[in-house]
Chain A
Amino acid sequence: DGGITQSPKYLFRKEGQNVTLSCEQNLNHDAMYWYRQDPGQGLRLIYYSQIVNDFQKGDIAEGYSVSREKKESFPLTVTSAQKNPTAFYLCASSPRAAVNYGYTFGSGTRLTVV
């Protein structure tokens, strides 16, 4: 089955730690995206990548970092500089950024600071 997989489903982070959220897709999509969702709110764009080895900051990139070394993978690192990281993180992909297509979303990772 083609799809987009996020892992882990739940993640706990101690204060001051960096953690990395995984996002893998086998849809052969060029573009990938990371969104953050807080309770009762919409999705806010963190980072996006339109092609391998290239990515751009979204609206709330501070305290996060990404890499796009492979077409299939777009991991997100939540660094200790992110002061309020507890949220639901969603990864998405689309065939090409320059063409209007809906995104396919993963099932999300819920990150909690303990």
Chain B
Amino acid sequence: GESVGLHLPTLSVQEGDNSIINCAYSNSASDYFIWYKQESGKGPQFIIDIRSNMDKRQGQRVTVLLNKTVKHLSLQIAATQPGDSAVYFCAEMDTGRRALTFGSGTRLQVQP
């Protein structure tokens, strides 16, 4: 039968507020990290990436922060909009096999 999935952690914010989504990664040798957005029933969409020789990268309304000391990645979304409601995944590049390993995801709910 179908497996029962774990409940995703959920972040609920008001429209216009800033959102911060956190991710702990597992492999200290990972050298490349990506944030993806996934809407219900669709494939993940690329948001922003960062290489391990950086600690911050900014895009349009989004910022990714990387703390290699504690193996932590965060995604900041400025002025969150209802269209930002989705599940967000972080992913790390396995330097050995060169394939992305994904975290378990965080659901972002934006209240109008």
A38 at the interface (CB under 8 A from B): yes
Of the candidates B31, B45, B51, B104, which one forms a contact with A41 in the assembled complex, judged by CB atoms under 8 Å apart?
B104
Instruction: Pick out which of these stretches binds chain A: B13-21, B60-68, B71-79, B95-103.
Output: B95-103
Q: Answer whether A100 and B93 are a contact pair too, CB < 8 Å, given A42-B104, A45-B101.
A: yes
Q: Which A-chain residue is minimally distant from B93 (CB atoms)?
A: A100
Most buried by B among A40, A48, A106: A40
B4-A43 in contact (CB<8A): no
Chain A residue nearest to B7 (CB atoms) is: A40
Q: How many A-B residue pairs have CB under 8 A?
A: 72
Q: B99: which A residues are within 8 A, CB to CB?
A: 33, 45, 48, 58, 97
B97 to chain A, nearest CB (A): 7
- The distance from the CB of A112 to the nearest CB of chain B, in whole angstroms, is 8
The 3 closest A-B pairs by CB, nearest first: A40-B5, A105-B43, A39-B5
Known A42-B105, A105-B44, A108-B43; further 19 A-B contacts with Cβ < 8 A: A31-B98, A35-B102, A39-B2, A39-B4, A40-B6, A40-B8, A42-B102, A42-B103, A42-B104, A43-B89, A43-B102, A44-B102, A48-B97, A86-B1, A90-B44, A100-B32, A103-B44, A103-B100, A107-B42
